[in-house]
Amino acid sequence: MHIDMDAFFASIEQASDPRLRGKPVIVGGKANKQRTVVCAASYEAKRMGIDSAMSVAEAFRICPQAEFVVADTAKYIFTSHAIFDMLKPYSPRVEQASVDEFWLDMTGTERFLGPAAEVARAIKERIRSEFGVTASVGISSSRLFAKIASKLKKPDGLVVLDKGDIAETLRDMPVGKITGIGRSTRERLNGFGIFVYSDMARFGMDFYRDKFGKLGLWLYGVSRGEDGLFIPSWQGEEAPPKSVGHSYTLPYNAHNPELIEAWLRLLCEMVASRLRSLGLEGRCLHVFLRQPDMGFVAKQKMFGVPTSDGAEIFLRAMAVISCMPRGLKGFRLRALGVCASVLTPACGSRLLEADIKRRELIKSVDEINGRFGEWTVYPARVSGIRPT
């Protein structure tokens, strides 16, 4: 079962403020609203052509009467967690895929809870009554088709997609709408005359394997209403991470190297902070930078000693960037990301006195931030960044 909250942030704002109900609502960042982007739009706004990631200025051109609300992340995350907790009694395996999406494995639950569709109705009603928002639910034999089903009747939908009905129900669905098929795969499929789901069934396994390799085996399965290779299997809440990363899309194009470095330092500290909270250190560092309309560059580098020190990760990130063709020179940055991998348990032993002092310093900073709030002490380099 896949639960997809409907226009989650905007719906929470409409639940919070009765005056916003039934109106086109735009949720955006804290900066000057002409410079920020749409984080979420209510269905009333979506019907007028406004959608996430559009600039707020453009959204107001389309709909001058739209109501603008500054995003309140704490409110959304609290509500998301509360919904996640509410779902736990309905399945032994509940997973939070994102702030507004949840998976429930309903295998074997029917004898205790009744048919999955009945459970879905009960869940939808509880979400509505306890949080004042709606959710769309998809039920199918696999995660992929449950996710597709949840999007078929938004908002407030409930779709049960039995395996035998997949071919007929999805017959005219463009292949680009299928989760896991991105732009480049869609373009390649289109090149072979595969435009909608029903076209996929015209080709056999050999075709998919020859043309798409490993991905082809998954595509073949999808064409037969099966899934299992692409979307990861159920993860326990305690599953150790294989990597720790953060990325961010700026609401503007940054070209000042100092500003770009400030954002990078911020990301590195976030990665470091999470590594430390997990008791891990990373040896490999992956950095990606995206330019507007020009794709992205990405590099990774393996280092000899694992670390969870934000300053060290930043230095390593700069070293990775120096391996990129132009470094940061002349770069117009739209998005960036930092990811640490090859993770190992944090190693307490350090031989050099400077390392020991450094570790004590980081421990003290973590203690201060743990007591007085994150970012009570933060790297000076990021102080030029203002909320956007």
List the catalytic residues: 101
Residue 12 lies near other proteins (rule: CB under 8 A): yes
Residue matched to tokens 């694992």: 306
- State in angstroms the smallest separation of the CB of 231 from other proteins: 13
Residue 78 lies near other proteins (rule: CB under 8 A): yes
- State in angstroms the smallest separation of the CB of 50 from other proteins: 20
Distances in Å between the alpha carbon of 82 and those of 86, 91, 237?
6, 16, 16
Q: In what order do the strands lie in the sheet with 25-28?
A: 38-41, 25-28, 67-70
Residue 270 lies near other proteins (rule: CB under 8 A): yes
- State in angstroms the smallest separation of the CB of 82 from other proteins: 8
- Closest by CA position to 27, among listed 18, 35, 38, 43: 38
Residue 135 lies near other proteins (rule: CB under 8 A): no
- Closest by CA position to 135, among listed 3, 2, 27: 3
Q: Identify the sign of the CA torsion 93, 282, 346, 308.
A: negative
- Closest by CA position to 135, among listed 145, 125, 124, 126: 124
Nearest residue (CB) to other proteins, 81 versus 202 = 81
In this structure, are strands 25-28 and 135-140 parallel, antiparallel, or unpaired? unpaired
Answer for which of 32, 34, 98, 344 binds other proteins (CB under 8 A) is: 98
Residue 387 lies near other proteins (rule: CB under 8 A): yes
Residue 274 lies near other proteins (rule: CB under 8 A): yes
Answer for which of 4, 44, 269, 309 binds other proteins (CB under 8 A) is: 269
Residue 312 lies near other proteins (rule: CB under 8 A): no
Residue 130 lies near other proteins (rule: CB under 8 A): no
Task: From 90-98, 116-124, 174-182, 220-228, give the range in contact with other proteins by CB under 8 A.
Answer: 90-98
Angle at 87 between CA 81 and CA 93, to 5 degrees: 105
Residue matched to tokens 């409930």: 158
Site residues for other proteins per CB under 8 A: 12, 15-19, 30, 70-75, 77-82, 95-99, 101, 132, 235, 237, 239, 246, 248, 266, 269-270, 273-274, 277, 369-376, 378, 382-383, 385-387
